Amino acid sequence: MTRGRNRGGNSRNSSKAPSQAILDLPVAKNEDVEVEIIGLTHEGEGVGRVEGYTLFIGGALPGERVRAKVLKVKKQYGYAKLIEVVVASPDRIAPPCEIYKQCGGCQLQHWSYEAQLDWKHQHVVDNLERIGKLKVGAAEGETSEGLNEEAGIVVHPTLGMNDPWRYRNKAQVPMGLAEEGGLIGGFYARNSHRIIDMDACLIQHDQNDDIVRRVKAIGRELGVTAYNEETGEGLLRHVVVRVGFRTGELMVVLVTNGAKLPLAEAWIEAIRAQVPGVESICQNINTKRTNVIFGDVTKTLWGRDVIYDYIGDVKFAISARSFYQVNPVQTEVLYGKTLEYAGLTGSETVIDAYCGIGTISLFLAQHAKRVYGVEIVPEAIEDARANAALNGISNAEFEVGAAEDVMPRWLEQGVSPDVVVVDPPRKGCDERLLETLLTMQPERIVYVSCNPATLARDLRLLEDGGYCVKEVQPVDMFPHTVHVESVALLVWDDTDR
């Protein structure tokens, strides 16, 4: 690695700020450096090293040599701005989105899709090995059948999309005011809450783009004011649009800073006239000084309270605030792998912890004797029960509460699961839930994860408690972003290991 000198031609050491000199760092703030990029962080930044000192450089890709300006230094690492790609990765491509460099919604559009999938696979492997201290030993694409434990965990190649664009079924667009005062809406600039106005997002369903454009235009015509985070004033906070991929049904949600929606009838008339196929127009009220999108109260202004869509053969009612996977194509892939790992024959009792609105529960109930779902959000359980009734599924029941509290009670009542499926939030499973799993000792655990780091941590605890992690399947639910979902299969091991 080579370092540039400052513009005045002074040596690197003489240009150091006092704090850098005291720490004796190999780089200084505002210094130009030339760096080989050796990896990528979980946030999509290139990782380079100067004499062992780590620099994070946004926009740089593994295998590249870049010139960068050091922006910030700490004792063990610093941040730099990409100035020039000296030697480009063969996988670097021109991002097709016009506002990609400004918007913070995607992080990997400048990398070929094949390279993204490879990195996501390696990202899962690295977390299992570094955080979980788990052995990953099988060749890519190899199954765990016939392998002994010493062979290690099979981590399959990432399952990607044939067409990794226009996959999102929900848009949540913050509203703001342009300098000249007109209503704008788009996405936040990278690392800020400054809104980049946009009319097209290449990972959104094209109908979402069209509807957001039309709703913004209606708002301008009606003279609607946008919410201002700094002052707490203004009316319209977000426009949320949902589209049913299979049904084509559409929902528009206006998130407002106040219970009253001025010109409500004009809003309804204009949206109905300009958005063919709309089945639901709602208002969500959020008066809190927060960056959380939804408030606690939702009113249906016109049409139904829900729209409908399908995952596989299961029909779901989706309300304004329902949690529903945003990539329906890959959701079928993810749930198909979950069903495969569950190994159901029709005679099993299954528990679905963190069941949400019952998406996985109802998917599994078609192949199990009985499914029990638990979720801490009461509204989600109401939706789960309604979705079970909607599909005529009678072998699934749902209960409100924390899984770590409800599952021991079920065990006392004689519910002994053959399979437990967990699909926790990014923070992973609650420690008490893991302890409950080790007490219940189901034959199989299927762990669906949106965070490789917490997945690795939890798998380590379950392995230490007597389970054997057989295989892990990464699934690309969010192409062109750094996020990766995984499904892991664990089998109870009653042998001495």
How deeply is 489 buried, as exposed, middle or buried, from its count of CB atoms within 10 A (0-12, 13-18, 19+)?
buried
- Strands 419-422 and 349-353, bridge-based pairing: parallel
Residue 103 to residue 112: CA distance in whole angstroms = 19
Tokens coding 492: 């109870």
The residue count of the chain comes to 497
**Catalytic annotation, residues:** 450
The Cβ-side half-sphere exposure at 220, using a 13 Å CA radius, reads 15
For the chain, the distance separating the N- and C-terminal CA atoms, rounded to the nearest angstrom, is: 46
Query: What are 403-410's contacts with CB under 8 Å, separation 24+?
Result: 403/353, 403/354, 403/374, 403/376, 403/430, 403/433, 403/436, 404/430, 404/432, 404/433, 404/435, 404/436, 406/374, 407/351, 407/353, 407/374, 407/433, 407/436, 407/440, 408/436, 408/439, 410/351, 410/372
CB atoms within 10 A of CB 176: 22
Task: Name residue, tokens 């639910």.
Answer: 477
**Residues 6+ away with beta carbon under 8 Å from 101:** 59, 95
Residue 454 to residue 426: CA distance in whole angstroms = 7
Residue 337 to residue 345: CA distance in whole angstroms = 15
